[in-house]
Amino acid sequence: MPVTTRFAPSPTGLLHVGNLRQVIHNWLFARAHGGRFLLRIDDTDPARSEERFVDAIRADLAWLGITPDGEERQSERFALYEAAFERLRDEGHIYPCYESAEELDIRRKVLLSRGLPPVYERTSLALTEAERVDREAQGIRPHWRFRLDHDAPIIWQDLVRGEQHFDPRLLSDPVIRRADGSWLYMLPSAIDDADMGISHVIRGEDHVSNTATQIQMFTAMGAPVPAFAHTALLTGSEGKLSKRLGSLGIAHFRDSGIEPAALIAKLARLGTADPVEPFVDPAPLIASFDFGRFGRAPARFDEAELAQLNARIIHQLPFEAVADRLPAGMDKAAWEAIRPNLETVAGAADWWSIVTGAAPDLAAEAALGDDDRAYLAQAAAVAATLDWTADPWHGLTGALKEATGRKGKALFLPLRLALTGRAHGPDMAALLPLIGEQQAIARLAAAAE
């Protein structure tokens, strides 16, 4: 079977960072094996599904630069589910149940009080046809469960967790359809995976018990059982499961100035034995992607580390990749001068305003003493004599060093403060030509007053 993966979100809200990690894993694995990556919108619940979230999911993938090779919507596949349901019911794999939610809850509590696993006891399976007819005559509409095969353990070789064993007798027969006829997650997902030719189901470890029951569904349908990879869940930087991770979505990262490449580079290798590296092009991530490198321990997601990685990626971005996000008038030379000092692309606007604006407000002016002011007056005079078509910064500092004997911080810092208003920043040799002769002389003279 050719490698085919899928990302199957429910459009009941915005994608969060855990969802994004699953998108990236499925996409990288498919690309690493020359396969297909599909998007499936799991919108079987019309009461909770919203079209605006479908649009947001597509937009989020587009922002990441991930283009699915196909898309399906569960709301358009009900006839397929109905046909599979009828066949499985006729073959005895699905049966009706008549207990209310309150009755089931009481029964679970009784079992727990006896130290027994709270597993559904198949009481409805024992009903006679006459008893079922009687309940339905009373207006009790059944919900439906998939009947697990208790005869053999459920075993599979997980690509992350290794060999997995489940005793089906310790699992409840899963409810697959509500009394109102609406579908729950388990069976439609398995039907779709079989119909869409999904070769690998890649998802979080919170789905491990679902996999055990879905393996039996594939078998009951006579469909090939996919391979499974269950990755460890994310934790926050504090090392504990964090509710905040459930609220960190694309909008948060985009508004924080995080580049798609940084998010992909971080989430692709988080939880593996491989170093997180600032790849602008995902090709090395695709070539090296291997579930054998993933550990079973929870993976720690640290936003501060992501911000650092983001800066390293920005320092590699060519002008052409960011030109449409830069302030008007900022050209390639300006970008390459300012880029090494940026943490986000948006930060370029601040430095461009320093380059093109009026004399800076010297917030650090207290660092300038009277001798510095005299020095800056001298610097203004020297600047007026320079050849500005060559290398004005080194021409300026070289002449001042020879004339004043200053060196190191005493030579450079007053000049930087006067020219930019900042004690730190881009290389002045690249920045000074952007400021220009007249503006530079005016700033030096103003700072000397």
CATH at 147: 3.90.800.10
Q: 238 CB contacts (<8 Å, ≥6 apart)?
A: none
**Structural domain contains residue 333:** no
Supply the pLDDT for residue 236.
85
Confirm whether residue 332 is marked as ligand binding. no
Q: Which of 261, 294, 319 is the last residue of a domain?
A: 319
- Closest Cα partner for 245 from 306, 184, 297, 287? 306
Q: CATH number for the domain including 396?
A: 1.10.10.350
pLDDT attached to residue 205 = 95
Cα 317 versus chain centre, distance = 20
End position of a domain, from candidates 319, 343, 368: 319
Is 173 found in the same domain as 190?
A: no
- For the entire predicted model, the pTM comes to 0.90
Q: Domain boundary residue among 298, 319, 340?
A: 319
Q: Tell me the CATH number at 267.
A: 1.10.1160.10
Tell me, yes or no, whether 142 and 85 share the same domain.
Answer: yes
**pLDDT for position 359:** 67
Look at residue 168 and tell me if it is in a domain: yes
- Quote the pLDDT of residue 241: 58
- Domain identity same for 158 and 197: no
The number of folded domains in the chain is: 4
State the residue range of the domain holding 279.
Answer: 243-319
Are both 114 and 40 inside the same structural domain?
Answer: no
Nearest residue to 60 via CA among 16, 113, 3, 8: 16
Kindly list the averaged pLDDT for each block of 10 residues, start to end, along the chain of length 449: 95 93 97 98 93 96 97 97 98 96 94 94 94 94 97 97 97 96 96 98 96 98 98 81 73 94 97 95 97 93 95 98 96 96 95 84 65 94 95 96 95 94 92 95 91
Could you tell me if residue 13 is inside a domain? Answer: yes
Structure tokens at 80: 């397929």
Q: Do 86 and 171 sit in the same domain of this protein?
A: yes
Looking at the structure, tell me whether residues 190 and 66 fall in a common domain. Answer: yes
**Same domain assignment for residues 56 and 18:** yes
CATH code for position 62: 3.40.50.620
Backbone phi, psi, residue 332, to 5°:
-60, -45
- CA separation for the pair 301, 278 (Å, rounded): 16
- How far from 184 is each of 46, 122, 180, 191, CA to CA, in Å? 12, 19, 11, 12
Examine the domain organization and report whether 170 and 84 are in the same domain.
yes
Tokens of 74: 């569960």
AA identity, residue 244:
R
CA distances, 371 to each of 29, 276, 406, 411 (Å): 64, 48, 11, 12
